[in-house]
Amino acid sequence: MAMAFNPLDFSNLARTLAAGSASEAVYRTAVGRLYYSLHLVARDRLALTAKQMKKEGGYHKAVVNRVTKKDVATGGQLDLLRVLRIEADYHLQPSSPQFANWGANYQTADLIATKILPRIQRLK
């Protein structure tokens, strides 16, 4: 059986990308990889099944909700990463002025991901 993929490799990839060429596409991609890194770690720690997540609002919302129920701040911070990921992947124009600068968006995502990763790894 193949070894399971380590979601933290997504974080490493994000930081490698962001340390290279500074383009909006790079930052958008890096933000998305940071989010998925945290999302997958949280999902595994919470042992959520696809059926449960679907029942609880969807694959992304369910994970954020479960984390929020344990800690409002960590859940909110993961939710901001989720919002930034949606912004990165779907919005060609910023949905809000605060998301207009992708260098800043990446910095925010990196700061939050670094901060909440240990908390998410301790989720029970």
Partner 1 sequence: MVTAQLPASVEERVGFDPDAQLLITVPKPSIGVEEEPLSHEAAARPSEGALTKPTWRVLEPERDTPTGAGADVGEWRAQIGMAVGGIWSAAWPTFRAAEIRPKLLPAPRLVIERQAKALLTSRVREVIQPLVAIAQTQALRSHLHVTSMVVRPFVDPDDDSRELILEIHVSALPAQGLAYWDGLGATLNTYRDTLPAATAAILGDRVSVHVVWPSSDGNGV
| Contact residues for partner 1, defined by CB under 8 A | 22-24, 27, 57-61, 64-65, 68-69, 71-77, 79-80, 82-83, 86, 90, 96, 98, 101-108, 111-112, 115
Least Cβ distance, residue 67 to partner 1 (angstroms): 8
Least Cβ distance, residue 1 to partner 1 (angstroms): 29
Which residues, 6 or more positions from 91, have their beta carbon under 8 angstroms from its beta carbon?
A: 99
Tell me the C-alpha to C-alpha distance, in Å, between residue 23 and each of 29, 56, 61, 102, 106. Answer: 10, 36, 29, 8, 11
Residue with Cβ nearer partner 1 (3 or 74): 74
Closest CA to 66 of 53, 77, 51: 53
Return the amino acid letter for 40. Answer: L
Residue with Cβ nearer partner 1 (3 or 11): 11
Least Cβ distance, residue 5 to partner 1 (angstroms): 20
Tokens 């939050």 correspond to what residue? 112
Residue with Cβ nearer partner 1 (3 or 124): 124
